[in-house]
Amino acid sequence: MKDILVNLALEPRHREKLEAAAPGCRFTYAPGKELTPELVQSAQIIIGNPPPAWIAASERLELLQLFSAGADPYIKPGILAHSTALTNATGAYGKAVSEHALAMTLILMKKLHLYRDFQRQHAWRDAGMVTSLSDATVLVVGLGDIGLAYARQVKALGARVIGVKRRSGPCPEGVDELCLTAELDRVLPEADVIFSILPGTADTFHYYTAERFAAMKNSAIFINCGRGSAVSMEVLAQALREGQIAAAGIDVAETEPLPADSPLWELENLLITPHVAGNFHLADILEQVVNISCDNLRAHLSDQPLRNVVDFATGYKK
């Protein structure tokens, strides 16, 4: 019998699914502010994203099943004991985040963000020339579940897709050319759209430097739905102000919430959403998280291989 802590707001049917996957176990449900350090320390299995400091390398914790795809706060030294397995929710967010990124892409290409501004000003104005995904070159940096979903969507709309990933392998469906991260600087100048879906690791910190923005087309659009730490807000603001790129859309920021006095708020060629591309706003996300959690409960309790095991060295799913 295991003590299982669930740090998620669930409907009764979700609880029934979890409990059916782990018969005989003791479940404690503590969504949101109901969670306490004592509950975290007493759990053998946790489903959710508790404050990392509360885990404090608990030797009692056997499995931490995150509800997020990002695992970076939990791979830092001193958070999890060496005996604790860490799994994430890769596969739950592909539909939601890729569609959000696609919407941002089209809004910026068609200048709909400017027309919304004009509407609020009661101004019947023409914002000028627009661009199209048809025959555009789209660079997808990070070819996990979300990156591949976005690649296939823009490919269906006529784009040429270049994918960038860490390890070599066969070119996946929806991608025309596959490159390794070491080749990024070679392909950056080709891209009309750059979609970043990188995790937050030491290797991706301030990944998009001023030099890389300078290498992009001045007509390029930059979309970031991965981690805000991949680009300095000052570097992004400079690239947008100086016309090194045409526009950007970000669902993440280096500091969240984005400070009220940040100069980014005032840039008309920047579209900002407050880290909501996933965040359970699409009902399907919770369904997928529960399904992944059920699979891993069954696997852990029967000593079978787990789904979505996180590599502590990289922060990615193995």
Spell 131-159 as b/e; 16+ CB within 10 A means b. Answer: bebeebbbbbbbbbbbbbbbbbbbbeeeb
Domain ranges of the chain: 3-92+281-301, 94-272
Q: Which is catalytic among the residues 11, 183, 234, 256? A: 256
Nearest to 161 by CA among 195, 113, 128: 195
pLDDT of residue 196: 98
Q: pLDDT-based confidence at 201, cuts 50/70/90?
A: confident
With beta carbons less than 8 A apart as the criterion, state whether 207 and 152 touch: no
- pLDDT given at position 5: 98
Residue 314 has pLDDT above 80, yes or no: no
Q: Is 256 an active-site residue?
A: yes
For residue 232, is pLDDT > 80? yes
- Domain 3-92+281-301 is in which class? alpha beta
Cβ–Cβ under 8 Å, residues 195 and 105: yes
The first and second tokens of residue 246, run together, are 């045409």
Active-site entry in 14, 160, 227, 300: 227
Q: Is 300 in the active site? A: no
Q: Thinking of the domain 94-272, which architecture would CATH place it in?
A: 3-Layer(aba) Sandwich (3.40)
Q: pLDDT tens digits, residue range 29-75?
A: 999 999 999 999 999 999 999 999 999 999 999 999 999 998 989 99
pLDDT band for position 318 (50/70/90)? confident
Fold agreement between 3-92+281-301 and 94-272: yes
Instruction: Verify whether residue 227 is a known catalytic residue.
Output: yes
Sheet with 3-6: strands ordered across = 26-29, 3-6, 45-47, 63-65, 85-87
d(CA 223, CA 98): 11
